[in-house]
Chains A and B, each alone.
Chain A
Amino acid sequence: MRNLITILLCLLSFTAVAHDMPGMAMAGGPALGASAAFDAHGRLWVVDAANGHVRLRHSDDLGRTLSLPVDVNAVAEPIYDSGENRPKIAFGPKGELYVSWSQPRAKPWTGFVRFARSLDDGAHFSAPLTVHHDTAEITHRFDALAVDGQGRVLLAWIDKRDLEAAKARGEPYLGAAVYYSWSSDEGRTFVPERKVMDNSCECCRIALARTPDGGIAALFRGVFGDNIRDHAYALLPTNGGPVHAARTTFSNWHIAACPEQGPGLAVGEDGTRHAVWYEASHGPAIWYGQLDPGHPPQHVLKLAGPGASHADVAVRGKTVWLAWNQVAANGYALMLRVSTDGGLHFDAPRAIATSVAAAGSPQLLVWHDQASIAWNTADGFRLVSSGAR
């Protein structure tokens, strides 16, 4: 009997010790923050983080099997790997493979935006570089990565240098700021960063999308007036011109909180800015709308309410896909709605996959006019066809 009690107490103390170990991978394996992209040949690539390495895997059978992982960063370092702050992957016009992530620093909320590239299909990666020239140990994190029509590599992130400067002056400053930089030499070097907008939200992902003229547009949650957490839209110029960020949602959600739910953005060939976003001014809600920066969005549709999260949007021609996670007591459903008339009308929501295990943020991918959804669950990575039922 005494032995049994000793065993029980040992079990209890082991549990406590195990939870104390810094950087310990959780029992279910790597965290669920993953990103995926198709290359020009239709090969699917996935990045996530495990044991201090961003790891790259690929699939030639639409995600059913994944290759053994390749470490992007040879030397282990801390990596943010949550759903809103996950490693990113994008391709250049000649198959250049670009990867970015945010690296936590010692102090709370701090981070550096990191970047590495491979010019040989992921066989070798450059040593990671820190993208921003500001080296203060403050927030530079929640990186977003895109390649423009000229092959420039753009990165945008949340940055607290203006908050820190205001604090030093004893002045108030709400939220953080969004900064961006770009590389015109296939990711070898990045220009000194520029500010997109003061007073952004502190911990919502930034959405980047290519516009018809090859530029990159950003959509992110801002702080307007007295802690109103709506969204701002801005083109990210790479010619030295000024940045014009404009408020583009008007839900007037007034809150001093971190929603940890950034928006999604896809720009059609006709220039229509399709967006999805979360707000909870009248209870949790995910919305679709077509952005008209400076004015309320058009064709607004409430996609989902309680239990819905982390929506994404994609467009090809007149087809618009919307995907999001819907949670219930017994697990997660991956939801989809499709419009075939450019976002004027959508079909009924349908669950195209379910998971009892935890699920990461869905990511819509389009390859040869067919959409699929990268869905990383605690049971493994899945690529779910938009035609799945």
Chain B
Amino acid sequence: MRRTLFVALLLLALPAFARAGKLVPLSAADVPALLKPPAHGMRILAIWSLDCAYCEANMQTLAKWQRTHPHDIELVTVATDDVAQGAALEARLKAAHMEAYPALAYVEGSPERLDFLIDPDWGGETPRTEIIRSDGTRQGISGEITAAQLQGLP
């Protein structure tokens, strides 16, 4: 029982992306864990927003690519809209067939601070693809990812 309680507490304390399937809030305090290099392969953040006209296509391209490397790529979607818009965000993710991936949404009144914490060299344009490799290297790509950029990732 004591162990069960510990797990429940851990679930509360763990960064949101550890729990797949449900839109969960991303605050400034969660960013270091999100950016921590994975044990192997790479974590890809597909960053998007409700206003963005290119984001669904971008995350679907990344998802298709992830499915060809299921053991090496961890794909996480991150919405820069406030999690208060959760219903609209989840509907859009579902329509894009992205509900199988862990999904985060900002919990801030304006996105700039979290944008900056995720990558100071990113001005907030979406889609934004952030690649975090197990060796600690990082790469950020603004705009809809191209086939050439995708091939250059591994």
* A residues apposed to B, CB below 8 Å: 1-2, 4-5, 8-9, 11-12, 16, 19-28, 31-32, 82-85, 108-109, 202-203, 255-261, 278, 280, 283-284, 306-307, 309-310, 325, 327-329, 331-332, 357-360, 378
Contacts and interface: CB of A to CB of B under 8 A. Distances in A.
Interface of B: 1-2, 4-5, 8-9, 11-12, 22-25, 28, 49-55, 82-84, 86-88, 90, 92, 105, 108-110, 112-113, 115-117, 120-128, 142-144
B125 A260 contact: yes
B112 A325 contact: yes
Nearest to A2: B1
Nearest to B4: A5
11 contacts: A5-B5, A19-B24, A20-B86, A22-B87, A31-B109, A203-B52, A257-B126, A257-B144, A261-B124, A309-B124, A358-B109
B108 A358 contact: yes
Contact of B120 (A26, A84, A306): A306
Contacts, number: 134
A27 to B, nearest CB: 8
A258 B121 contact: no
A102 to B, nearest CB: 11
Contacts of B12: 8, 11-12
Nearest to A23: B87
A4 B98 CA distance: 34
Contacts of B88: 22
A327 B143 contact: no
A256 B126 contact: no
Contact of B8 (A8, A83, A310, A331): A8
A202 B53 contact: yes
A303 to B, nearest CB: 13
A8 B83 CA distance: 21
A351 B50 CA distance: 31
A28 B66 CA distance: 36
Nearest to A16: B22
Most chain A CB inside 10 Å of its own CB: which residue of B84, B90, B127 = B84
Contacts of A21: 86-87
Given A19-B25, A256-B54, A258-B126, A327 B11 contact: no
Given A358-B108, A358-B110, A1 B1 contact: yes
A255 B25 contact: no
Given A257-B128, A258-B52, A258-B54, 10 more contacts: A19-B86, A22-B87, A26-B109, A83-B110, A85-B51, A258-B126, A260-B126, A261-B125, A307-B120, A329-B28
